[in-house]
Amino acid sequence: MKLNESNHDRDAAGMTYVYPVVSRRARGVSIGINLNPNNACNWRCAYCQVPGLTRGAAPQLDLAKLESELRQMLTRAQDPAWMERHVPEGSRRLNDVALSGNGEPTTSEQLDDVLGVLERALGECGLLGRLRIVLITNGSLVHQPRVRAALERLARLGGEVWFKLDAATDATRQRLNDAHLDSRRVLSNLIECASASISLSSK
Ligand code: SF4
């Protein structure tokens, strides 16, 4: 199957947790990790494109399976023949690994463990410190200690957070995201996110 910029099918690789995407913006391949194969999220955004979205959290993950899929995909993506077969010319480069999927990744109780798996797989493939790691989140659970711990690990790995903020007012966010999160909480979660990396860099 040839990947293209409009194909964001998370089943493209026939895997449960890992999928490749060609990013138009980055002109490269992003390897996605889907922690929500059950299509569950703690929000219900008006524009959400997750098929059959349900309100809820990520399920218990099979970390051994995730690690195996990740290794396979990282190996494939470093193979020029695989790139040539599956990726359009001009985008045949590995750009990042993104924790993003069919729901909010920070609802997974195993987020920190997943980052540990990712660290090991990147290390074994010689990509640790060379490949960007991105956590794409709605930011609503950053105040939870287990999420904070995962953010600190992410910062140690040199990763980054893309924090969704759709509107400045509580009422508009409520309408767009179908989520109760007042502005003080949004701000403190943003600060918490930033400070996870600042506190590490000052240690
Ligand atoms: S946060 Fe993302 S996955 Fe969750 S409902 Fe909104 S767009 Fe969908």
Tens-level pLDDT at each residue, the chain (203 residues): 566 655 555 666 789 999 999 987 778 999 999 999 999 999 999 999 999 999 999 999 999 999 999 999 999 999 999 999 999 999 999 999 999 989 999 999 999 999 999 999 999 999 999 999 999 999 999 999 999 999 999 999 999 999 999 999 999 999 999 998 899 999 999 999 988 865 554 44
Structure tokens at 106: 């920070």
Residue nearest to atom 2 of ligand 1 (CA): 103
Phi, psi dihedral angles at 86 (to 5 degrees): -115, -15
Residue 181 has a pLDDT of: 87
Dist CA 120 CA 39 (whole Å)? 27
For ligand 1, the distance from its centroid to the CA atom of residue 46, given in whole angstroms, is: 9
Find out whether the beta carbon of 138 lies less than 6 Å from any atom of ligand 1: yes
Q: Which of 198, 134, 196, 183 is nearest to 160 (CA)?
A: 134
Residue 10 has a pLDDT of: 61
| Cβ–Cβ < 8 Å for 160, 110 | no
Q: Which of 101, 203, 99, 109 is nearest to 156 (CA)?
A: 203
Find out whether the beta carbon of 28 lies less than 6 Å from any atom of ligand 1: no
User: Which one of 36, 38, 53 would you pick to mutate in the ligand 1 pocket, going by the greatest count of ligand atoms within 8 A of its CB?
Assistant: 53
Continuous segment of H or E residues that includes residue 19? strand 18-23
Residue nearest to atom 8 of ligand 1 (CA): 48
Find out whether the beta carbon of 43 lies less than 6 Å from any atom of ligand 1: yes
Domains in the chain with CATH codes: 18-201 (3.20.20.70)
Alpha-carbon torsion 152, 156, 157, 159, what sign? positive
Distances (CA, A) of 186 to 51, 98, 108, 110, 144: 27, 22, 20, 23, 13
For ligand 1, the distance from its centroid to the CA atom of residue 150, given in whole angstroms, is: 20
For ligand 1, the distance from its centroid to the CA atom of residue 125, given in whole angstroms, is: 31
Atom of ligand 1 nearest to the CA of 49: 8
pTM of the predicted model over 0.85: yes
| Cβ–Cβ < 8 Å for 31, 73 | yes
Dist CA 23 CA 142 (whole Å)? 27
User: Which one of 42, 44, 45 would you pick to mutate in the ligand 1 pocket, going by the greatest count of ligand atoms within 8 A of its CB?
Assistant: 45
R_g (Cα) of the chain, nearest Å: 17
* 72 torsion bin: left (phi>0), alpha (psi -120 to 50), beta (else): alpha
How big is the CA angle at 154 (ends 126 and 173), to the nearest 5 degrees? 135
Q: Where are the alpha helices (DSSP H) in 41-182?
A: 63-77, 80-86, 111-124, 145-156, 170-177
For ligand 1, the distance from its centroid to the CA atom of residue 200, given in whole angstroms, is: 29
